[in-house]
Amino acid sequence: MGRPRDVAELLQEGLDPGQIAQRLGISFNSVRQYLWVSVGEGLIRRSDVLFSLPKELRLAVERAVHAEGCRDLHAVQRWLYQKKVPYQQAELEMLWKLTSIRAGHGDLYEFITGTERLLHERIKEVLVARFGAEEGGWWRQGVPEKVRVNCAENRERDSDGDAEPYAYTTFIQLSEILDKQWALFQERLPKEVVTDKKVMLKDLARLNGIRNRVMHPTRLHKITDEDFEFAREMHRRLRAEAWRTPGSAGQLQPGPIA
């Protein structure tokens, strides 16, 4: 299989780099090199490596940089020492490299846009299955009037507005569709998100807020570790293969946007 693949699989199982080194009987530096190779080969994301490192250390470094103004690794080390935050030097160096190159921003964008595209496609798919593919079916019977009107207005404002109005739905509008048709989507949504409608809608509202900050580069500094972890988890929970078919243990087949 090769060490990079072995290391990537152990990381995905939940082991941190230090634990992987112990499991495989190799040095931390070797694990680090294999992780970078795994990222380059597309086996894992940089953000997977980032979130494998201790959360207490991630949050402490985030505070040192954004709240305390530390601008280099030595300043961060001094701040951690003053605050008595425990850390392993090798882990801190890896975390600092990932933080310095903003490893998560590209992945965060993919998590947000991937979740939005998937919800957009899956919601239409479910509505078409229930109300029919004609405009008088899924669009008029499945989508609230307010959402339809807003989408039509946004299409009119778009100089390249040649897509169907539904293409202009936002996270919030998709939430409104889910809210109205909750009884229908209870049979389709992944089990991890369907247990509480209020929580689901609240999570989508939070994801929309993160999306708005991600889409404005000057506001990226306001993205916190918790924001990133939340978006990453929502992407996992709403993954295409987790959606279900009604009245059975089967699943909807993943679409091309998975």
CA nearest neighbour of 146 among 165, 173, 120: 173
Q: Are residues 149 and 201 in the same domain?
A: yes
Residue 51 CB coordination number (10 Å): 20
Q: Are residues 109 and 131 in the same domain?
A: yes
Residue 217 CB coordination number (10 Å): 9
Instruction: Classify residue 71: in a domain, yes or no.
Output: yes
* pLDDT tens profile 116-126: 999 999 999 99
Enclosing domain of residue 154: 105-242
**Which long-range contacts (C-beta less than 8 Å, at least 24 apart) are formed by 77-82?**
none
Instruction: Classify residue 247: in a domain, yes or no.
Output: no
Q: Are residues 118 and 233 in the same domain?
A: yes
Q: Are residues 143 and 237 in the same domain?
A: yes
Q: Are residues 16 and 119 in the same domain?
A: no
Instruction: Classify residue 249: in a domain, yes or no.
Output: no
d(CA 12, CA 16): 9
Looking at the DSSP assignment, which residues form a beta bridge with residue 251?
244
Amino acid (1-letter code) at residue 60: A
Arithmetic mean of pLDDT over the chain: 86
pTM of the model: 0.68
The gap between the terminal CA atoms of the chain, to the nearest Å, is 26
Q: Are residues 211 and 190 in the same domain?
A: yes
Q: Are residues 32 and 154 in the same domain?
A: no
Instruction: Classify residue 193: in a domain, yes or no.
Output: yes
d(CA 162, CA 134): 18
Residue 42 CB coordination number (10 Å): 8
Q: What angle do CA 141, 146, 147 make, to 5 degrees?
A: 75
Q: Are residues 84 and 111 in the same domain?
A: no
Q: Are residues 1 and 89 in the same domain?
A: no
* pLDDT tens profile 146-162: 999 999 998 888 877 67
Domain boundary among 101, 129, 164: 101
Q: Are residues 237 and 117 in the same domain?
A: yes
Instruction: Classify residue 207: in a domain, yes or no.
Output: yes
Instruction: Classify residue 3: in a domain, yes or no.
Output: yes
Q: What share of the chain is helix, strand, coil (3-state, %, to 5)?
A: 70, 0, 30
Q: Are residues 20 and 59 in the same domain?
A: no
For residues 142 and 181, is the Cβ–Cβ distance under 8 A? Answer: yes
Instruction: Classify residue 254: in a domain, yes or no.
Output: no
Q: Are residues 70 and 188 in the same domain?
A: no
* pLDDT tens profile 95-121: 988 876 565 567 888 889 899 999 999
Instruction: Classify residue 113: in a domain, yes or no.
Output: yes
* pLDDT tens profile 8-61: 999 999 999 999 999 999 999 999 999 999 988 989 988 889 889 999 999 899
pLDDT of residue 105: 65
Domain boundary among 35, 68, 101: 101
* Counted domains in the chain: 3
